[in-house]
Every structure is written in C-alpha cells, then in structure tokens.
Amino acid sequence: MDTNWINRWVHAYCRFLTAVIVALLAAMVVLVFGNVVLRYAANSGITVSEELSRWFFVWMTFLGAVVGLRERAHLGTDLLIGRLGRSGKRACLLISQLLMLWVTWLIFQGSLAQTRINWTVQAPVSELSMAWLSGVGVVFAVLTAPMLLLDLWRSVTGQVADGDLVMVQEREDRPQVKGPP
C-alpha cells in the first residue's frame, strides 16, 4: 500500500492545524492584553475576554497534541525499550499504539457524551453553547485516530524502520526522532 499521498495529506492538514493554533494564540493575546489595557486605562474591560481565552487555550492544547502526535514530539523515555531487541521493540510499539487507540476511543466516548449533555447549556458570559468546549475532545479523537491507525498498520505490516521503533523524544530542547516516514 503506497502511503505517500496519505503522508502529504496529513502533513498539509497539520500545517493547517498549526495555523489555527497560531490564530487562537493571537486572539488570546489580543483579548487578554486588550482587557488589561482597558482595565487600567479606561476602568472597563472586555466581558467575554477571560471565558474565550480559556476556551481558546483548551482548543490550542488539544490541536497541539494532534500536531505533536504527527511530529513525534511528545516526551517519553526509552530506558527499557532502548535495551530490547528488534522484536521486543516492535511488540512494545504495537502495545503502545493499541493503548493509544483505546485512550483515544475513551476520550471520544466521554467527550461525545459531555457534548450531548452540554448542547443546551449556555456559558455564563458569552452565552455560547458549552458544547464548544467539550466538543474539542471529539475533534481530537477524530483527528488522531486515523493517524494512529495508519501507524498501527505500518507496524503490523513491517513498514517501520528500526530507528522508528522507539517513538519518544527524551529531551525537549533537542529533538532526537524524526517525523513519520
């Protein structure tokens, strides 16, 4: 199965998510800084600033986790796995991928249930549906599950190189692993 077109599509989509994250961060800065300036200069403020900034931060966190998954940027340790042979590393990789899929499923189920509950609940200040806040878990699960399934497929079919069997980064300041093939 040729997965080059899938890799290009996922890369483009992660670039789009990165742009969304940047836009959310910029909006947070404008809202919070504008609110501070208005409080000190005009003794007023932007009423929805705190609420929207909090929501934007939650969305940035989940979208950033999707991009981090794609770039293999999540921190971890390979103390045990680094000492195993190829078959041991491959088994641990398969187990970790299955566990990640299971946790993604749990996040999807919980977020979907919470979104349904909050569909008619309004936020106190903006009066937007609280489903916008809890729905981020659904979006996260829908975006990460295909990437995890693709990685699992590559692992099961033996398309993973020896250097990619350990999918963690030990230090935040020095990237040690490259993105997926």
Q: Kindly tell me the burial class for residue 49, based on how many C-beta atoms sit within 10 Å of its own C-beta (0-12, 13-18, 19 or more).
A: buried
Q: Is the pLDDT of residue 117 over 90?
A: yes
Neighbouring CB atoms inside 10 A of 99's CB total: 10
- Quote the number of domains for the chain: 1
Find out whether 115 and 135 touch, Cβ atoms under 8 Å: yes
Q: Is 16 inside any structural domain?
A: yes
Q: Is 179 inside any structural domain?
A: no
How sure is the predictor about 180, in pLDDT bands with cuts at 50, 70 and 90? low
Q: pTM for this one?
A: 0.82
Please report the pLDDT score of residue 157 as a whole number: 87
How sure is the predictor about 45, in pLDDT bands with cuts at 50, 70 and 90? confident
Please report the pLDDT score of residue 64 as a whole number: 95
How sure is the predictor about 44, in pLDDT bands with cuts at 50, 70 and 90? confident
Q: What are 90-111's pLDDT values in tens digits?
A: 888 899 899 999 999 999 999 9
Residue 85, C-beta contacts closer than 8 angstroms, at least 6 positions apart:
none
Q: Is 170 inside any structural domain?
A: no
Q: Is 176 inside any structural domain?
A: no
Q: Is the pLDDT of residue 181 over 60?
A: no
Q: Is 64 inside any structural domain?
A: yes
User: Residue 20 is part of which domain span?
Assistant: 4-164
Q: What are 47-92's pLDDT values in tens digits?
A: 888 899 999 999 999 999 999 988 877 767 777 777 778 788 888 8
Please report the pLDDT score of residue 1 as a whole number: 53
